[in-house]
Amino acid sequence: MSRTRRRQIFALLGTAFFMTILDGTSLLTALPTIEDALGLGGPAIQWTVTAYALAFSGPLLLCGRAADLLGRRRMFLGGMALRVVASLVCGLAPSAGVLVAGRALQGLSAAIIAPAALSMVVGAFPEGAERHRALGIWGGLGGVGATAGLLLGGLITEAFGWQWVFWINLPVGLAVLALAPGLLPESRGPVRGRPFDLAGTVTVTVAMVLLVYAITRLPVAGWADTAIPLAGGIAAATLFVLIERRSAAPLVPLAILRRVVRGNLLAFVAGMVVDGMLVTLTSYGQQVLGWSAQRFGLVAAVMTVTSVAGALVSQRFATTLGLRRVAVVGTSLLACACALLAAVSAVSAGEAAVLIPIALLVFGAGMGAAAVCGQIAALTGVSEEHSGLAAGLVETSFAIGTALGVAVCGSVATAVTSDSGRLALGQRSAFGTAGGFACLGLIVALTLTARGRSSADRTPAARDNTGHDRVPARRCDPAA
């Protein structure tokens, strides 16, 4: 495949990915207008966010494996078609029920698109510097989409109405659907034996839905009311592991999971830090400093610029200096930025307006580096036939991390505020909690091998179609 063709493929997939991220965050600034227009109450409007999170996180692993077996282009096109329909439904929604159903369809479409697109990126670029560069740009697109959505959501709502927060997907989605069949090559892994692990699929989907539901409800309902779904999710996850160990054709081969676990842990912790910090900063900026959504979006744009720079620079240094060093720098920057934000929340509004952009400059650079290093570590050494599964795993790790980060930081802020009667003190504690997550990420970064792979990745053992060793591997790198 020529370099020009690879760039065209990346541009198309990157556009779809960017719009998926943009759509997820632009809704947040449009929620007050939607609430007034449809006459929604607090719980109903919250379900527009929760329904998306559940439909996205639950089937990610299944969708990733389905892309490997049924065809990555086929799954991608199906996901884009569903996204166009779902966006049309959301914009035309006359009631809360229709809007929540449309958001669930959008979440499901994102679960189909994300692993299929990322696995096609992995397949289009050879492992090494060229793939690292592509993943760096991919991470930068995610950062731009997330923060651009915060700014554009308010502007689009004010200029055209809240419906266009959803309808902006229509022309982009139709263009992608028109171009993709002629540009994207079809690829799939060899189908041998039983193609789907039905028991594993059901248990992992149930586990993910219950865990995400419990996590997202935690800040509102508290531990007592979320204990049952949380326990059910943990039980289903345990059952899933037992099923996978005994299955002849597991949904997630444990050998693959062991190979990429460190990269997924880094992506998980990065998600906790990023969204835990962002939801706290949003509350602090609007409730304490009195910033409008547009002003907050403009300030957040500072973070976008440095996150893109951090992603692009880190992919280059990951190749030359090694993945561990870059990941350590990235997580350290996240921890320093959270510490600075905790200190900022104790100063005057005028000083905060100056110091917050500085903290976001640092945070953005760390976010770009940590996210890209997590992706590289989670996708390096994975065969093409399992690339969709590996992409689904890293997307799942980040999604669960973001939900947990929001829940824990929100719970900490609420608890401290209730005890002290001071909103700023609660948010300062939440910033400190996000900094603690970053320190956990630093520990994970220190366990990465120089190139982001465990010793099992560099041993010459042959693998069967489930990812298990056929020949015992001999460890040859004590440092790993």
Residue 93 lies in a domain: yes
Burial of 357 (0-12, 13-18, 19+ CB in 10 A): middle
Which of 111-120, 122-131, 411-420 is predicted with the least confidence, judged by mean pLDDT? 411-420
340 and 281 within one domain: yes
8 A C-beta contact, residue 300 and residue 430: no
Q: Same domain for 141 and 216?
A: no
Any domain includes 57: yes
User: Quick check: 190 pLDDT over 60?
Assistant: no
pLDDT, position 474: 35
Judge whether residue 73 has pLDDT over 70: yes
Ranked by mean pLDDT, which of 26-35, 235-244, 327-336 comes out on top?
327-336
- Distance CA(311)–CA(472), nearest Å, equals 37
The model's pLDDT over 171-184, given as tens digits with 9 standing for 90+, comes to: 999 999 999 998 99
Q: Which pLDDT value is given to residue 96?
A: 83
107 contacts: CB under 8 Å, gap ≥ 6: 51, 52, 53, 54, 55, 56
- Across the range 204-221, mean pLDDT stands at 83
Kindly tell me the burial class for residue 286, based on how many C-beta atoms sit within 10 Å of its own C-beta (0-12, 13-18, 19 or more). middle
Nearest partner of 378 among 267, 258, 265, 260, judged by Cα: 260
* Spatial contact of 394 and 162, defined as CB atoms under 8 Å apart: no
Q: Is the pLDDT of residue 83 over 90?
A: yes
Q: Say whether both 223 and 129 belong to one domain.
A: no
pLDDT above 70 for 163 = yes
Residue 464 lies in a domain: no
Based on the fold, state whether residues 66 and 123 are members of the same structural domain.
Answer: yes
DSSP string, 177-222: HHHHHHHSPP------S-S--HHHHHHHHHHHHHHHHHHHHHHHHH
36 and 112 part of one domain: yes
Residue 466 lies in a domain: no
152 versus 396: the higher-pLDDT residue is 396
The dihedral sign for the CA sequence 413, 414, 416, 421: positive
- As for how many domains the chain has, the answer is 3
At residue 7, does pLDDT exceed 60?
Answer: yes
pLDDT exceeds 60 at position 458 = no
pTM score, whole prediction: 0.79
pLDDT at residue 127, as a whole number: 81
The predicted pLDDT at position 159 comes to 83
Determine the structural domain holding residue 91 and report its residue range.
1-182
pLDDT of residue 464: 43
Least Cα distance to 87 among 19, 186, 145, 134 occurs for 19
Whether 215 and 340 map to the same domain: the answer is: no
Handedness of CA 280, 284, 287, 291 (dihedral sign): negative
Least confident of 41-45, 48-52, 117-121: 41-45
- 467, part of any domain: no
Q: CATH number, domain at 175? A: 1.20.1250.20
What is the structure's pLDDT at 475?
Answer: 35
Burial class of 85 by CB neighbour count within 10 A (0 to 12, 13 to 18, 19+):
middle
Residue 432 to residue 270: CA distance in whole angstroms: 15
Residue-averaged pLDDT of the chain: 82
End position of a domain, from candidates 126, 156, 182 = 182
What letter would DSSP give residue 380?
Answer: T
Domain boundary at 157, 182, 207, which?
182
Helix/strand/coil for 463: strand
* Residue 461 maps to a domain: no
CB 413 within 8 A of CB 283: yes
Tell me if 73 sits within 8 A of 120, measured CB to CB: yes
Predicted local distance difference test score (pLDDT) of residue 450: 58
Which pLDDT score is estimated for 258? 78
In a domain, 408, yes or no: yes
* Co-location of 106 and 234 in the same domain: no
Chain mean position to CA 49: 15
Q: Determine the Cα–Cα distance for residues 334 and 368; give it in Å rounded to an integer.
A: 10
> Is the CB of residue 310 less than 8 Å from the CB of residue 368?
yes
Residue 147: predicted pLDDT: 67
248-288 residue pLDDT tens: 778 888 777 777 888 999 999 998 998 889 878 877 887 78
Predicted local distance difference test score (pLDDT) of residue 467? 42
